[in-house]
Amino acid sequence: MNFLLRALRSAASGRQPAPLRQDDIHSIIVFELTRLGDVLVTIPSLHHLRSAFPSSILHLFVDDRYAPLIRSLDVDVVVHGVHNAKSVAAMFRVLEETHRLKADLALSMSPSKRNTFGVLSSGARIMGGYLEGGGTLAPFLQRWKIEIFGAKMPSNFYQNENIYLRSWKVCETLGLPDNSSFVQSSMRPVPKNSMEEDLRTGRTFPKTSFVVLHPFSGWKYRCWPLDNFIELARSILVQTSHDVLFLCHESDEKRLVPSRDSFPHNKRVHFVASQDLVHSAVLLSGADAFVGNDSGPLHLAAALGVKHVGLFGPADPRVTAPPTAYGIHCYQRIECSPCDQRGCIRPNDSCMPLISVDDVARPLIEMLEKNPVVDV
């Protein structure tokens, strides 16, 4: 793969740069073939590209696990789901499909070898974004160059800034007008209403106001202890009239057993394990608040305009938290934070348990009573 990327890069860098005229851009391909959080972080820039190139067709290539969710949001983009996106076979399917699209502009919105391959092999007249590839779990800790091949543009870099600026800086490099504010999305009425009706029929959707708790993430040292989530649920039940809904991916359902055992026959506590992201988005959009670790569901809650409390430890919320006016960030910095998340150097005394239940319950209760102010 590295040899192929070098060859494609060499061919692309030899293109004669020409002026980028917005009226000449009729088809745009955006690649975000990485994790759910990275895809959601890109959405505000998709809105911006759409407004900057109103007559163009905007295509988005993502992992096919996330494609139904993006299609359910009010983003004017043609979504292409890529099956088994990490495989070599998938990359050549992407090559074949992108060549059929005959794009004028192809963009990589984050440093990823898959994104880089998609852009450099697309055949687009202008190629841009993060084209060096990347192999780190925490690319926001490094310095990345934004490059444009086929158009003359000034140099630009992303380094240790909020990750929502990462894709925005690609737009900035293209010379688009400044519009880097956080853009809230909503669900399209048809999938939302249909799914909501199914959930109510199946008694999954609470009948009263509720708070969603999402206890897990892709890395165990990024997770607040489950016992703390259970204590937080008790605080919500005692101090408010809200129900509590524990939400997780289907693969984590067994990990919810201690939570179920803590609330036997309690009709105000609900448990949902689902692999359907549209299902989860509908539940989130109906919640009064969300509490979760630094992970994709936190960014989904923010994208949907849901008040949220994000729990941070390995990463600094100033870098990885959604920059909204309706979120609170709980963070206890220690000497090794932020880390690259490849391993924990203090596994028996890690950072996440340092956040107390009261640290979360207090701002959450206040949030349910009034509009919050961001606290980082």
**What pLDDT does residue 375 have?**
38
**What pLDDT does residue 214 have?**
98
Phi, psi of 271 (to 5 degrees): -130, 125
**What pLDDT does residue 35 have?**
93
| Chain region(s) in the chain for CATH 3.40.50.2000 | 189-369
pLDDT in tens, 271-319: 999 989 999 999 999 999 999 999 999 999 999 999 999 999 999 999 9
For residue 204, how many other CB atoms are within 10 A of its CB? 17
pLDDT in tens, 191-243: 667 666 666 666 677 888 999 999 999 899 999 999 999 999 999 999 999 99
Q: Which architecture, in CATH terms, is 189-369?
A: 3-Layer(aba) Sandwich (3.40)
**What pLDDT does residue 192 have?**
65
**What pLDDT does residue 293 have?**
97
How would you classify residue 305: left for phi > 0, otherwise alpha for psi between -120 and 50, otherwise beta?
left
**What pLDDT does residue 130 have?**
96
Distance of CA 132 to the CA centre of its chain: 21
Are the C-beta atoms of 241 and 208 separated by less than 8 Å? yes
List the one residue out of 292, 319, 316 whose CA is nearest residue 304: 292
Just give the CATH number of 2-173: 3.40.50
Among 169-173, 231-235, 366-370, name the one with the lowest average pLDDT.
Answer: 366-370
Structure tokens at 137: 């779990």
pLDDT at residue 42 above 60? Answer: yes
pLDDT in tens, 87-126: 999 999 999 999 999 999 999 999 999 999 999 999 999 9
pLDDT in tens, 310-351: 999 999 999 999 998 899 999 999 999 898 888 899 999 999
Structure tokens at 263: 């609330």
pLDDT at residue 374 above 50? Answer: no
Are the C-beta atoms of 299 and 166 separated by less than 8 Å? no
Please state whether beta strands 289-293 and 57-63 pair in parallel, antiparallel, or not at all (unpaired).
unpaired
220 vs 184, higher pLDDT: 220
DSSP 177: P
**What pLDDT does residue 191 have?**
63
Are the C-beta atoms of 272 and 284 separated by less than 8 Å? no
DSSP 264: T
**What pLDDT does residue 284 have?**
94
Most confident of 120-129, 150-159, 179-188: 120-129
Please state whether beta strands 126-129 and 327-331 pair in parallel, antiparallel, or not at all (unpaired).
unpaired
Structure tokens at 333: 């910095």
76 CB contacts (<8 Å, ≥6 apart)? 50, 58
List the one residue out of 301, 310, 294 whose CA is nearest residue 280: 301
